[in-house]
Amino acid sequence: MYEDQTYETILARSLARVATDVDKREGSVVMNAIAPVSAEHANIYILLDGIIRDGYADTATRDYLVLRCSERGIYPHEATHAVLKGKFNMEIPIGSRYNLDEINYRALSFIESKEEGEGDERATYYYYQVECETAGTIGNKQFGELSSIEYIHKDLEGELVELLIPAEDEEDTEVLRQRYLNSFQSNPFGGNKQDYKEKTDAIDGVGGTVVIPVWNGGGTVKLIIIDSNFNVASGALVSKVQEEIDPDPQGTGSGIAPIGHTVTVVSAEAENIAVKCAFVLDDGYSWSQIKDRATEVIEAYFLELRKSWENGAITVRISQVENRLLNLEGVLDVTGTTLNGVDSNIALSQEKIPVLGGVTNG
């Protein structure tokens, strides 16, 4: 706003106010007196420009955006801790700690025990919910053998086998800004659809929510969720959301849901979609060289769709599949594309999200 208020501009304007019969040349008393003040005035304009920008949510830097958001009861989501499934060959104490590749984990709760294996190899294994002590999405990526930090038993063996509740990183500034701006376009209140959506999305591990009101009669609400990796929600995440929204006894207002609302939380269902195309490849390229990259770009397309899932039912489009494949190095043409054996788009119901079932050439 004040980009034109430079030191040179202010100095020239100040000297112009001095009488013409006074020496204003460089090195004169008047020049030496006005120059430092002009520099300070230029700095003030710079600071003033920053103050004005930070006064508006659309241009504010993070610290001032957080202050602006707090006026509407909106706060940045902090980084969360991943919860994984740990498999052990014996019972372990709740709260015991373990290590994997410089990341530490803590046993939260017992899940189940079951016998596995055949013949002499058959043994009982114990499964626990294990929380990553490091906040952020790094906790979603580590699987493998665990080492006990505190001595429990010389024969103890354990490993991380499954991600139950994905962790999230601290909310990005632009995501927070958009959430603030969106708050003026909706009116969440007392159990309306927007209220359910915002409160459910705010639960750790939830990446999207679809609200279906009166799905099984008056006072009933169904919440369909996906996890923060935009995949099918695990049973542990569904149970966690159910407990926070409407725990037993249901409809009593013991959770987030208002009194009289009976809420059922379920995960979106995966719809496996197999992609088959006839690839025309450039000289020197083979399908084995292209296959992994083709799978990656279609996975990325499906991820884009899952990220927009809560905004409306998804349609997987052949044109979008072909456009992405045609951008691959070595691919000259793509023809005869089918999705699950059909040469047409696949429109999914709101309860389903697309999961790639493979890319084949033929």
CATH number for the domain running over 186-267: 3.30.300
Question: Would you say the pTM of this structure is higher than 0.85?
Answer: no
pLDDT digits (tens, 9 = 90+) for 136-147: 999 999 999 999
Domain ranges of the chain: 7-54, 83-165, 186-267, 270-361
pLDDT digits (tens, 9 = 90+) for 68-91: 999 998 999 999 999 999 999 999
- Tokens at residue 51, please? 């103050």
List, in sequence order, every residue forming a beta bridge with 92; answer none if it has no partner: none
Provide CB contacts within 8 A for 311, sequence distance 6+. none
The pLDDT assigned to 187 comes to 74
The pLDDT assigned to 7 comes to 82
Instruction: Enumerate residue ranges in the chain where pLDDT < 50.
Output: none
Query: Strand 220-227 vs strand 262-267: parallel, antiparallel, or unpaired?
Result: parallel
The pLDDT assigned to 117 comes to 87
124 φ/ψ angles, rounded to the nearest 5 degrees: -95, 130
